[in-house]
Structure 1
Amino acid sequence: MTFRLLQNFKGSRALVISRLSGRESTLETTLAKLGVACEFPEIADGRAQIDIAPLSPDRDILFVDGDLDEAIAIDVDPASKLPPVPVIGIVGVEAPGRLKALLNLGATAFLRKPVHGGAVYTALFMGINQFLLRADAHARLLDLEERRRGRRAVLRATILMMREQGLDEDAAYSQLRRESMRRRQSLERFCEELLSRWAKPPDTSDRTTSITLQGGNKQAM
């Protein structure tokens, strides 16, 4: 994943979790001018009637009114601390508890009440691009961790190849690399699979095994 600054939001969809009032007209009108469709999911018994699962981060943005108590539940990724889609908090009462609740939903930008048209683009720009930036940083960390584990496997496989076939370090590494290319696998993945095969105990069910006794003699078992 590569972060790319997004400046045009045409074709996006905003789902506004808020009780309908005159304030939403400014938000809806401004979003429409930016090419963003606006929807207001129904709120029944204090909960927004919306399914988060099918939402797409490439299209959908959630605007959540912080003055509503637990109107929506969002599973934030424990590692990246990101919600499934960008979240922009609509702030009325600036109480620490309500701001914290929006942060716990993964909000990356805020829009103050009453909503002014000139503030909508800034909130949209910051909310979406901060979401993309954090997602990109998390993806890079995962990639680095994967490479770190993979390099460890390459080192172990090289050492074992040197021991098994009496090769020097360069020759063992080259052989591993050639074999991974022949199998059209990354070197790291090939070495991980090779180590996994080497770790399996040999099948000794049909042959006699022996152990070394003191003095170097072997006894069949």
Structure 2
Amino acid sequence: MSRPSSFSLRGRKALVAIKDERDATIVRRQFERLGLEGVAWTPAEPVDFAPDLSLIDDEFLPLLQPAQRAFLTRSPVIALLGTETPSRLKLVFELDPASFLIKPLRSAGIYAALVMAFERNERTSELKQQIFKLEQRLRSRRVVLAAVLQVMHSHALAEPASFALIRRTAMEQRKTIEELSAEITARGMLPRATG
């Protein structure tokens, strides 16, 4: 299943927390043109749906409730900046925004901020998956090394021969090297070892 394009916004739903009515009107008008549904929100209110995106006005910061901050980590956030002071920017960074817009808002730039937010969110998600897979491989390498050492000692083999034996046994048993290595380290011996 392919992921939706970051450039296609039609049918997506956004949580919109904007204090200034003029800015809110500009966002609503642009969202209508782009086919994006915007749901007005005040951070004190509960949310009963999973938004695809959140626009948060920096005047609502800091978000004091941990549940609010946790909720916003599930989708990309676009920060609306009215003040560029270090203290305000620090509050914005706590949201880990995927993009930002400067107030007062204009219709120009909203589409670009939306696309950048969706694309950054997708790339960040892919990077997190890659890191997770690499961490798993690193953990499994430790198990493989422990199994190789165990087979080396129990069968009086050199490291290459020990690894080859594990690989051959794993192929015969239709298991991954990592699965077989975990069994070896748990049992203390090579199951059904073939000479």
Q: Which band: TM-score by shorter chain? A: 0.7 to 0.9
TM-score, scaled to structure 2: 0.79
Show the counterpart of 1:149. 139
| 145 and 97 in structure 1: CA distance in 2 versus 1, 3 angstrom threshold | same
The structure whose Rg is larger is 1
| Structure with a larger share of its residues in strand | 1
Q: Which amino acid aligns with 1:97?
A: S
List alignment gaps of at least 5 residues for structure 2: 190-195
Q: Is the 8 A contact 2:19 2:59 kept in 1?
A: no
**What SS is found at the alignment partner of 1:75?**
helix
| Structure with a larger share of its residues in helix | 2
Which deviations, in whole Å up to 9, do the C-alpha atoms of 1:103-140 show, x marking residues without a partner? 10111211111221121111112222122222222221
Deviates more, 1:31-40 or 1:162-171: 162-171
| 172 and 131 in structure 1: CA distance in 2 versus 1, 3 angstrom threshold | same
Show the counterpart of 1:68. 60
TM-score, scaled to structure 1: 0.71
Q: Give the aligned length.
A: 185
Tell me how far 1:19 sits from its aligned partner: 3.0
Corresponding residue to 2:44 among 42, 48, 51 = 48
Show the counterpart of 1:21. 21
In the alignment, structure 1 residue 132 sits paired with structure 2 residue 122: yes
Tell me how far 1:193 sits from its aligned partner: 3.8
Let me know the Cα RMSD of the aligned residues. Answer: 2.9
Show the counterpart of 1:202. none
> Percent identical across equivalent pairs?
26
Tell me how far 1:8 sits from its aligned partner: 1.6
Which deviations, in whole Å up to 9, do the C-alpha atoms of 1:168-216 show, x marking residues without a partner? 44443233234434555432233134313339xxxxxxxxxxxxxxxxx
Q: Is the 8 A contact 2:150 2:188 kept in 1?
A: no
**What SS is found at the alignment partner of 2:69?**
coil
**What SS is found at the alignment partner of 2:78?**
strand
**What SS is found at the alignment partner of 1:74?**
helix
Q: Is the 8 A contact 2:17 2:57 kept in 1?
A: yes
